[in-house]
C-alpha cells in the first residue's frame, strides 16, 4: 500500500488537487472564513490564486476567462454574504453561455438548520442563474463533485455551475485510499448525425432566402469564423447574435432590414427568444419556416410551441459540432446573391460617421474615441477588446472589428468590464487588453485596479465620462420627455486620479486630438491604466438604411 494511500487528506486538498488534475491553473477568489483551508491547500499545487476586491468581480473574471479560453473559469468565494455577492454575477455568464464553476464555502454540514455562522440556502439561491447548483454531501465525494461541475459547465450549452462546500468537509480528513479520484473531466458532446444534417439541407433546398442564426457559443473568434464559412461553403448567410439589444445590436448594422425578408431561419444554438422578437411578424415574415438545432430539448420545444408545423426539422446537438457536421455535409454551393445582401446589411454603417468631428475644444464624441482605438488595435494583432453595456458600449461594437472581444452579453448587465479586461490579460498574458466603458458602470468595480496592480496585469480602460447614467437618461427622454429626465446625474469625477492613487496610470482627455497620444502613453506605461475622456452625452447609434 502506497504512502499516499495511507496519508490522511483534507477535503480542501481533494478539491484543489482535483482542479489541478483537470488541467486548470487559475482561480479568481476573495477570502473568507469558510474557505481559508482551500487557500492553504493551494500551496504546493500549480494553482494561481487571483485575489480580488469583490466576489462578483471574481465571477466576472472567471466568466471572461472561460469565454476566451474555452476552459471553465473558476471562482472561489466564502459562504453567506460572500456567496450572495457572487451569485448575482452568475446570470451574466449564464446568458453569455460561458463555462464557469463557482465554488462557495458553506456553513458546516453538522450545523445546517441550527443557526450556524452565515447559514444560507446557497444552492437554492444560485440555482436560477446556473446550469446546476448543489451542496457537497461528503468529504470523499468532493473530487467527483468538482469534476461533475466542470463537465456540466462545458457540456451542451456552456454555462455556470455552482457547488457549495461545507467547511467541516473542507477541514475534515480521510485516507487517500478512500477517495474516489475522478478521471473524467471532458465535456459530453452531443453530435448532429449525418442523417439529421442531410434533412436540414433537404428542408433548405426550396428556400430562396435562408438564414442561419448562431447563438452566443458561436460568437467567439472560432465561432464567428465557423459562421463565416457557411457563406463561403454553402452560399447561405450565417449571423451570430450575442448582444442584449437583439436586432438593435449595433454589431449587426442594418440586419433587421434583411431578417424580415428571410423565408427560412435555422436556429443553430440561437434560443427562440426576445432577441428575434419571438419569431413574430413583422420582424420575421409570418410565413417563414424554421429549423431548430439546440443542445437543450426544452428550447427546441419552445420554438415548436411557438410555430407548430412551420418548424420543419429539429435536432438535439451542440452548436459547434453541429456546425462542423453541417459544413462537412454541405451540398453544392447555391447562388450567393442573398448572402451578399445579408452581409452588406450587417456591415452597413452610415457614411456620415467617417466625417463626424467633435468640437475643437471638446467634449469628445464616441465616434472619435472609436477612431483612436481603431488605430491602436490595428497595431496589435493579438488585442482583446471589451465593450461595456449601456449607450457607450454600442459604439465600439458598431465601429471596431477586433479578432477577439468580450461584451456584456444577452443578460444586458453593466459593470463587469473592468473584471473582464483584467481577466483577458490573465487568459492571454501577451495580449493588449483594452476596455471601452462609461463612467456609471466604472463605479461597480473600480477598486479592481488594485487587483490588477498587485498581479502586474496591465490593461487600458478608455472611459467615456458624461457625468451621468446615460442609458437610463436616454430612456427618460424617449419615454417621458426631456423635461422629466430625473435622478441620473453623476459628477465629472477625475477617475484618472483615482486610478493613479491605486497605483495605475491615469490620463485626462478633453479633446479628440489628445486621445491617440494618451492611448500610446497608457500602453507604454506597462501599468493598469485609465484614460478619462470627457464625452458628449449622446444615445447609442440606431443603424438603418431607410
Is residue 251 scored above 80 in pLDDT? Answer: yes
Burial of 140: CB neighbours in 10 Å, binned 0-12, 13-18, 19+: middle
Is residue 441 scored above 90 in pLDDT? Answer: yes
Counting every residue written for the chain, the total comes to 546
Can you give the pLDDT at residue 1? 34
Can you give the pLDDT at residue 169? 97
Q: Give me the DSSP letters along 282-349.
A: TTS-TT-EEEEEES-HHHHHHHHHHHGGGEEEEEE--HHHHHHHHHHT--SPPP-HHHHHHHHHHH--
CA distance 176 to 168: 17
Architecture of domain 3-178: 3-Layer(aba) Sandwich (3.40)
Is residue 3 scored above 60 in pLDDT? Answer: no
CATH 3.40.50.1220 domain position(s) in the chain = 194-347
Of 90-99, 174-183, 339-348, the poorest mean pLDDT is in 174-183
The pLDDT confidence band at residue 177, using thresholds 50, 70 and 90, is confident
The pLDDT confidence band at residue 2, using thresholds 50, 70 and 90, is low
The pLDDT confidence band at residue 546, using thresholds 50, 70 and 90, is low
For residues 16-43, average pLDDT: 97
pLDDT digits over 153-174, tens only?
A: 999 999 999 999 999 999 999 9
Is residue 4 scored above 70 in pLDDT? Answer: no
Rounded to 10°, the helix 319-328/221-233 angle is: 20
Q: Write out the CATH class of domain 351-534.
A: alpha beta
The pLDDT confidence band at residue 175, using thresholds 50, 70 and 90, is confident
Residues of the chain with pLDDT > 70, as a percent, come to 99
CA distance 328 to 120: 50
Can you give the pLDDT at residue 362? 85
pTM of the model: 0.96
Is residue 545 scored above 90 in pLDDT? Answer: no
pLDDT digits over 44-77, tens only?
A: 999 999 999 999 999 999 999 999 999 999 999 9
Which neighbouring-strand residues pair with 102? Answer: 75, 162
For residues 179-196, average pLDDT: 95
Architecture of domain 194-347: 3-Layer(aba) Sandwich (3.40)
| Direct distance between the N- and C-terminal alpha carbons of the chain, in angstroms, rounded to an integer | 78
CATH 3.40.50.970 domain position(s) in the chain = 3-178, 351-534
Which neighbouring-strand residues pair with 76? Answer: 29, 103
Amino acid at each position: 500500500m502506497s504512502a499516499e494511500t495511507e496519508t490522511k487528506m483534507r477535503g480542501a486538498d481533494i478539491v484543489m488537487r482535483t482542479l489541478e488534475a483537470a488541467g486548470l491553473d487559475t482561480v479568481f477568489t476573495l477570502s473568507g472564513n469558510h474557505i481559508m483551508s482551500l487557500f492553504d491547500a493551494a500551496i504546493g499545487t500549480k494553482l494561481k490564486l487571483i485575489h480580488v476586491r469583490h466576489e462578483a468581480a471574481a465571477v466576472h473574471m472567471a466568466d471572461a476567462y472561460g469565454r476566451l479560453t474555452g476552459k471553465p473559469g473558476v471562482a472561489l468565494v466564502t459562504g453567506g454574504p460572500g456567496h450572495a455577492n457572487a451569485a448575482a454575477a452568475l446570470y451574466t455568464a449564464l446568458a453569455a453561455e460561458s463555462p464557469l464553476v463557482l465554488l462557495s464555502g458553506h456553513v458546516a454540514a453538522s450545523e445546517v438548520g441550527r443557526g450556524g455562522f452565515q447559514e444560507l440556502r446557497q444552492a437554492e439561491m444560485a440555482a436560477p442563474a446556473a446550469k446546476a447548483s448543489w451542496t457537497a454531501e461528503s468529504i470523499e465525494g468532493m473530487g467527483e463533485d468538482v469534476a461533475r461541475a466542470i463537465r456540466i459547465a462545458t457540456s451542451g450549452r456552456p454555462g455556470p455551475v455552482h457547488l457549495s462546500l461545507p467547511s467541516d468537509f473542507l477541514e475534515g480528513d480521510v485516507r487517500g485510499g478512500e477517495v474516489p479520484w475522478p478521471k473524467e473531466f471532458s465535456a459530453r458532446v452531443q453530435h448532429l448525425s449525418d442523417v439529421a444534417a442531410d434533412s436540414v439541407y433537404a428542408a433548405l433546398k426550396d428556400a430562396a432566402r435562408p438564414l442561419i442564426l448562431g447563438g452566443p457559443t458561436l460568437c467567439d473568434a472560432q465561432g464567428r469564423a465557423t459562421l463565416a464559412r457557411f457563406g463561403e461553403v454553402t452560399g447561405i448567410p450565417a449571423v451570430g447574435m450575442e448582444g442584449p439589444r437583439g436586432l438593435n445590436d449595433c454589431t449587426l448594422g442594418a440586419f433587421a432590414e434583411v431578417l424580415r425578408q428571410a423565408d427560412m431561419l435555422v436556429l443553430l444554438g440561437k434560443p427562440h427568444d426576445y432577441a428575434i422578437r419571438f419569431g413574430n411578424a413583422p420582424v420575421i415574415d409570418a410565413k417563414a419556416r424554421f429549423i431548430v438545432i439546440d443542445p437543450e430539448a426544452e428550447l427546441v420545444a419552445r420554438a415548436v410551441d411557438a410555430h407548430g408545423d412551420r418548424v420543419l426539422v429539429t435536432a438535439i446537438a451542440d452548436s459547434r459540432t453541429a456546425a462542423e457536421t453541417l459544413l462537412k455535409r454541405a451540398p453544392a454551393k447555391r447562388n450567393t446573391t442573398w448572402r451578399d445582401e445579408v452581409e452588406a446589411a450587417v456591415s452597413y454603417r452610415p457614411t456620415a460617421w467617417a466625417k463626424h468631428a467633435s468640437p475643437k475644444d471638446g467634449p469628445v464624441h464616441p465616434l472619435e474615441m472609436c477612431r483612436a482605438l481603431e488605430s491602436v488595435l490595428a497595431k496589435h494583432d493579438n488585442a482583446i477588446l471589451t465593450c461595456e453595456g449601456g449607450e457607450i458600449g454600442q459604439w465600439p461594437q458598431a465601429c471596431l472589428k477586433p479578432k477577439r472581444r468580450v461584451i456584456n452579453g444577452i443578460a444586458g448587465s453593466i459593470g463587469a468590464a473592468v473584471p473582464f479586461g483584467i481577466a483577458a490579460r490573465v487568459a492571454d498574458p501577451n495580449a493588449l487588453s483594452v476596455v471601452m466603458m462609461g463612467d456609471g458602470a466604472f463605479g461597480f468595480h473600480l477598486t479592481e485596479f488594485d487587483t490588477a496592480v498587485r498581479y502586474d496585469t496591465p490593461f487600458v480602460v478608455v472611459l467615456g465620462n458624461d457625468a451621468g447614467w446615460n442609458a437610463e437618461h436616454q430612456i427618460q427622454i424617449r419615454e417621458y420627455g426631456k423635461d422629466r429626465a430625473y435622478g441620473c446625474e453623476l459628477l465629472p469625477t477625475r477617475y484618472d486620479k483615482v486610478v493613479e492613487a491605486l497605483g495605475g496610470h491615469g490620463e485626462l482627455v478633453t479633446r479628440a486630438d489628445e486621445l491617440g497620444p494618451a492611448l500610446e502613453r497608457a500602453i507604454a506605461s506597462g501599468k493598469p491604466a485609465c484614460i478619462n475622456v470627457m464625452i458628449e452625452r449622446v444615445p447609442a447609434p440606431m443603424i438603418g438604411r431607410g
